[in-house]
Amino acid sequence: MSPQVTVIAGGVGAARMLSGILRVVDPATVAAVVNVGDDLELHGLRISPDLDTITYTLAGEIDPEKGWGLRGETWQAMETVARYGGISWFGLGDRDLGTHLYRTHRLGQGATLTEVTAEIATAWGLGLRLLPVSDDPVRTVVTLAGDGGDDGTEVSFQEYFVQRRHAVPVTAVRFDGAESARPTEAAMAAITEAEVLVIAPSNPLVSIDPVLAVPGVRDAVEARRSANVAVSPIVAGAALKGPADRLLVELGHEASVVGVARLYAPLAATLVIDEADAELADAVAAAGIRPVVAETVMRTPEVAAALARTTLEASR
């Protein structure tokens, strides 16, 4: 009998972690509580990038080269949009567009994001429960560092991440709407009732934090700290993907497993760090979280499965 496992999840790193977990435990016992702070509305469509990245990855349909979007994708709609001079910085492939059309249609009918997400997951044959942390809007807003007179410009997460290719310094992050958002019952139950709670190797500041920022979630995670395991998204001082390392430094943290340990010590009893960081194990322990050293760079499904096994065992 598999333990009930819940994963606090962002996008790419969480999707790989989940694919490993699904190889070692019964998918029916797994839930993911997923960030919605990256969500956006574009061209009238409701887009949930983290939910879709997880869905497409677990369906085996993710574009293996880009790490997001679907395999065998075409870009005809975007070419038409570009002809009109419309918004084309956020690439929506033709296959992928169908997901946003369906989601927008169902939300317009009054379905919740939780319901639509479940329908989409079922259609791709996924066995786990994929749960947006909230059905209410939470939007990650990033303050860009000034360059000349530009100080303090706030942009949406995707304007920072995709449009500016996360190549600009950041001075602050906030989660618009979080204070009045309610976590879903399903997400809260998945957090409180799981035997093991895993904090996926996602960006702590813009993927995990917006999940925790929904009222009640951080408290619920902290209340069960002893059975929680985080996996460091920082390996040898760098993010495997995305701007987590730079964001940590820009927002006053250390871009290392020790910096991650300080952020996660109140949330989890255990932190899985990479073999490359074994020498920092004592410093992690000194930050108040038990280090477990493992191979964390999920280059193959086998490595992801081994990391999942180590992570789940580390919670015991």
User: Is residue 119 within the footprint of its own copies (CB under 8 A)?
Assistant: yes
Which amino acid would we find at residue 8?
I
Sheet holding 228-231, edge to edge: 129-132, 30-34, 5-9, 196-199, 228-231, 270-274, 290-294
Count residues binding its own copies (CB under 8 A).
Answer: 37
Rounded to the nearest 5 degrees, what angle is found at the Cα of 62, between the Cα atoms of 20 and 158? 105
User: Is residue 300 within the footprint of its own copies (CB under 8 A)?
Assistant: no
**Residue 8 contacts residue 33 (beta carbons within 8 Å):** yes
Q: Give the nearest distance from C-beta 111 to its own copies in angstroms.
A: 12
Segment near its own copies (CB under 8 A); pick from 13-21, 120-128, 138-146, 174-182: 120-128
- Choosing from 123, 172, 223, 278, the residue that interacts with its own copies (CB under 8 A) is 123
- Choosing from 64, 65, 83, 219, the residue that interacts with its own copies (CB under 8 A) is 83
Query: Which residues between 167 and 186 bind its own copies (CB under 8 A)?
Result: none
User: Is residue 96 within the footprint of its own copies (CB under 8 A)?
Assistant: yes
- Choosing from 28, 66, 74, 91, the residue that interacts with its own copies (CB under 8 A) is 74
Q: Give the nearest distance from C-beta 288 to its own copies in angstroms.
A: 45
Nearer to its own copies, 85 or 148 (CB): 85
Q: Which residue has the tokens 């509305």?
A: 41
Which amino acid would we find at residue 30?
V
- Choosing from 2, 104, 112, 153, the residue that interacts with its own copies (CB under 8 A) is 104
DSSP letter (8 states) at residue 146: P
Q: Which letter, b or e, does each residue of 166-194 get, where b requires 16 or more Cβ atoms within 10 Å of its Cβ?
A: bebebeebbbbbbeebebbebbbebbeeb
User: Is residue 98 within the footprint of its own copies (CB under 8 A)?
Assistant: yes
Q: Give the nearest distance from C-beta 126 to its own copies in angstroms.
A: 13
Scanning 5-47, the segments in alpha helix (DSSP H) are: 12-24
How distant, in Å, are the alpha carbons of 115, 154, 155, 170 from that of 151?
40, 9, 12, 10
Q: Give the nearest distance from C-beta 159 to its own copies in angstroms.
A: 15
- Choosing from 19, 53, 55, 99, the residue that interacts with its own copies (CB under 8 A) is 99
User: Is residue 79 within the footprint of its own copies (CB under 8 A)?
Assistant: yes
Rounded to the nearest 5 degrees, what angle is found at the Cα of 118, between the Cα atoms of 112 and 120? 105
- Choosing from 42, 189, 238, 286, the residue that interacts with its own copies (CB under 8 A) is 42
User: Is residue 110 within the footprint of its own copies (CB under 8 A)?
Assistant: no
Max intra-chain CA distance, the chain: 60
User: Is residue 223 within the footprint of its own copies (CB under 8 A)?
Assistant: no
Nearer to its own copies, 45 or 227 (CB): 45
**Residue 280 contacts residue 256 (beta carbons within 8 Å):** yes
Separation between Cα atoms, residue 161 and residue 145, nearest integer Å: 14
Q: Give the Cβ contact number of residue 149 at 10 Å.
A: 7
User: Is residue 90 within the footprint of its own copies (CB under 8 A)?
Assistant: no
User: Is residue 76 within the footprint of its own copies (CB under 8 A)?
Assistant: yes
**Per the structure block, which two tokens stand in for 76?**
């005809």
Q: Where on the chain is the footprint of its own copies (CB under 8 A)?
A: 42-46, 73-74, 76-87, 92-99, 101-102, 104-106, 108, 119-120, 123-124
